[in-house]
Amino acid sequence: MSSMSRARAARRIAAGAAYGGGGIGLVGAAAVGLLVAEVQLAKRHVGNGHSPHPPSADGLYGWGSPRSSAAESGGGHSALGEPPLRLVMLGDSTAAGQGVHRSRQTPGALLASGLAAVAERPVELRVVALPGAQSDDLDRQVALTLAVQDRIPDICVIMIGANDVTHRMPPTRSVRYLSAAVRRLRTAGAEVVVGTCPDLGTIEPVQQPLRWLARRASRQLAAAQTIGVVEQGGRTVSLGDLLGPEFEANPRELFGPDNYHPSAEGYATAAMAVLPTVCAALGLWPAEEERPDASRREGFLPVARAAAEAADEAGTEVAAAMPTGPRGPWALLKRRRRRRLPTPEAAPTTAPEPSV
């Protein structure tokens, strides 16, 4: 599917989500049924003797050597007197970190450590993501996130969409649930970054032509998610890297033992794609990197076109840029440079490292 065709499809899905439509499908019903059967067959191999529960990663990150002095000052502020930044992970198993053994290998821990290094202050991580969740679970997760009035997160990262495709949730419903979640979080005062639906066309046991159908369905939903999120004031990052080209080229290196969830290195690859956008949303990224770089094909585009281009290239950010014009809302498309994530300094202070 061409970028322009995907833009039109994404615009239709997003419009259906906004105005109550629900019948627009990603691919034919029979084809989706075959795709689901193959993906479910692939998922039967999940586990291979490993725990189906992701390790708990909740806690404080980035204290380093000042940890004891900060703790002595009351535990709630850094040595410089700044309270920890609050980061919440919402979504499905990829947001929770299913498939790895250690808390420091989860995307939440990697993002918290990276954010702490950039901000030079501790980060308090909370994970409310649920393995197996579809977008209709976001309402519950957002309620948990906002349950304490005086502890609204500074930044929320949502990774969702794969289970919507494999469970045949209509994409208009999927986008509607996600848009509502972003709207609630933004209204409460939190910044929001969404890792859009990963590329399911690279799950190893899924064969052609269903692999092509899975890729098409995933990218269509990712583009539609981007439109919905940007219209609510959030930012998106294409997560093709999570189950995308790099996984296809290096499946033994970037997939975990179950060939479905990412390995530790795979999660690190995805976290590297998301971290710059998280930092930019909080005003922590270098100002010179916020200007669009024409040599990297960055710039201002109608949001549907930006969404389609982002779905085609992993690690691409889309953020709202201009008021609505004759061609609809506009967005800034950024292909951010990837930087190596710092290794988490230690297990979170409030959660023990799980035994292996």
Cα-Cα-Cα-Cα dihedral of 85, 90, 94, 98, to 10°? 90
pLDDT score for 338: 58
Kindly name the residue from 92, 137, 154, 258 that is annotated as catalytic.
258
Query: Which entry of 164, 218, 241, 261 is annotated as an active-site residue?
Result: 261
Per-residue pLDDT tens digits of the chain, which is 356 residues long: 556 565 666 566 655 555 554 444 444 555 555 555 555 555 544 333 345 678 899 999 986 533 333 333 334 555 456 899 999 999 998 899 987 888 998 999 999 999 999 999 999 999 999 998 999 999 999 999 999 878 899 999 999 998 898 888 999 999 999 999 999 999 999 999 999 998 877 665 555 666 677 778 888 899 999 999 999 999 999 987 455 444 555 554 444 444 556 777 778 888 988 999 999 999 998 877 778 888 888 899 888 888 888 888 888 999 988 666 556 678 999 987 555 555 565 444 444 443 32
pLDDT attached to residue 283: 93
HEC profile of 49-76: CCCCCCCCCCEEECCCCCHHHHHHCCCC
Q: Nearest 10 degrees: CA dihedral of 260, 265, 270, 274?
A: 150
- Interatomic CA distance for residues 296 and 61, integer angstroms: 33
**Sequence-ordered list of residues with C-beta below 8 angstroms from that of 135, at least 6 positions apart, any chain:** 160, 161, 164, 169, 173, 174, 175, 177, 178, 181
> Which residues fall within 8 angstroms of residue 75, CB to CB, at 6 or more apart?
none
Measured in whole angstroms, the distance separating CA 110 from the mean position of its chain's CA atoms is 13
pTM of the full structure: 0.80
Distance CA 172, CA 246 (A): 29
- CA-closest candidate to residue 242, choices 255, 258, 224: 255
Q: Is 20 exposed, middle or buried (0-12, 13-18, 19+ CB in 10 A)?
A: exposed
Residue-wise burial string across 21-52, b where 16 or more C-beta atoms lie within 10 A, e elsewhere: eeebebbeeebbeebbebbeebbeebeeebee
How many angstroms separate the Cα of 326 from the Cα of each of 77, 205, 227, 322, 329? 48, 45, 16, 12, 8
Residue 340 exposed, middle or buried by CB count within 10 Å (0-12, 13-18, 19+) = exposed
Which position among 78, 93, 113, 135 bears the catalytic label? Answer: 93
Q: Is 139 a catalytic residue?
A: no
Tell me if residue 77 is catalytic. Answer: no
Helix (H, G, I), strand (E, B) or coil at 128: coil
d(CA 303, CA 234): 13
CB 321 within 8 Å of CB 294: no
Q: Given this model, what pLDDT does residue 144 score? A: 96
Cβ atoms of residues 206 and 39 within 8 Å: yes
Q: What is the DSSP letter of 27?
A: S
Return left, alpha or beta for 56; rule: phi > 0 is left, psi -120 to 50 is alpha, else beta. Answer: beta
pLDDT computed for residue 107 by the predictor? 93
Q: Could you confirm whether 58 is annotated as catalytic?
A: no
Alpha-carbon distances of 232 from 73, 185, 276, rounded to whole Å = 39, 10, 20
Pairing type for strands 123-127 and 155-159 reads: unpaired
